[in-house]
Amino acid sequence: MKILIADSMHPSLFDMLETRGWEYAYHPEYRREDIKAALLEYEGLFIRSKTLLDQELLAAGKKLRFIARAGAGLDLIDLKVVKEMRIEVFHAGKGNRDAVAEQALGMLLSLFNNLLKADREVRQGIWDREGNRGIELMGKTVGLIGYGNNGSATAKRLSGFGCEVLAYDKYRDHYGDQYATESSMEEITQKADIFSLHVPLTDLSRYLIDDDFIAKCAKPFFLVNLSRGEIVKLDAVVKGLQSGKIRGACLDVLENEKIGKLTSAQQEAFDYLRASDHVVLTPHIGGWTHESYVRINEVLVQQIEEWL
């Protein structure tokens, strides 16, 4: 079996493939046209998130048997086309779920305790205790939208903080457990102090958090997004922060993550968010730890081996 690795991967992957006798070519420098030109030779493809695997590109993979996505999201893969072509798709949701959960808690705790603001001030010689009085996570009601790998791992961490965790997942039934209570979206919008998003990007989830959603929420709330940027309309978040309906936001992902190529409207929203002490921003690093970098390989290789 010949495998094309068309993205940067932790070198632990190479030993895993060689141990199993799987031939591979490592070309992290390949772009779309390079992948398209080479794909005919390969039965497997390892990819991260730089390339859209649409019908045009996949048509070149006449021998392609599987795609291994080194991450959780599958929004850059045309799943309808791969199903028609009988190509198996693997993803590494189990590989980075713990890293995502820890990132979510880290961002929330930073926001609640003014850690970024206080750190900046102390470095400038400002010693303002009252202005940095924090909020406790204990006793808050957290609404998790999406209860798969990342959502359930986040719920497990939240349980240690004495939170009531409500979970809604459109695609699952009977998923409540010791860490979260299965709930409707209506119940969550009535009760949640914190919303944390753990859903894939689809036509249904795109701009789920907009002006209408925010208006439906009974209480002012904190927003956490470590899923996909296009699930949240940033101008709606800005308006929510300005009105007080959104008390704070932790955003690891943005509508447009090419910071140097924002539209004028996106730039206006981004400028407001980056100037706000009620917002914590990180560059899509949820799940991006040294440990998950290796674990993703282990999860993918195990899945492929079991499938074979």
Cα separation, 35 vs 30, whole angstroms = 6
Cα separation, 100 vs 34, whole angstroms = 32
Q: What is the pLDDT of residues 8-59, one digit of tens each?
A: 999 999 999 999 999 999 999 999 999 999 999 999 999 998 889 999 999 9
Active-site option among 228, 247, 255, 295: 228
Q: What is the pLDDT of residues 201-234, one digit of tens each?
A: 999 999 999 999 999 999 999 999 999 999 999 9
Strand blocks (E) in 204-287:
221-225, 246-251, 279-281
Catalytic residue list contains 295 = no
Active-site option among 18, 56, 186, 257: 257
Burial class (CB in 10 A: 0-12, 13-18, 19+), 209: buried
Rounded to whole angstroms, what are the CA distances from 121 to 117, 134, 147, 162? 6, 15, 38, 30
Q: Over pLDDT 90: what percentage of the chain?
A: 95
Length of the chain in terms of residues written: 308
Cα separation, 13 vs 305, whole angstroms = 13
* Residue matched to tokens 């940027």: 229
Catalytic residue list contains 284 = yes
Catalytic residue list contains 206 = no
Active-site option among 10, 172, 206, 284: 284
Tell me what pLDDT residue 50 has: 87
Cα separation, 241 vs 218, whole angstroms = 15
Confidence of residue 128 (pLDDT cuts 50, 70, 90): very high
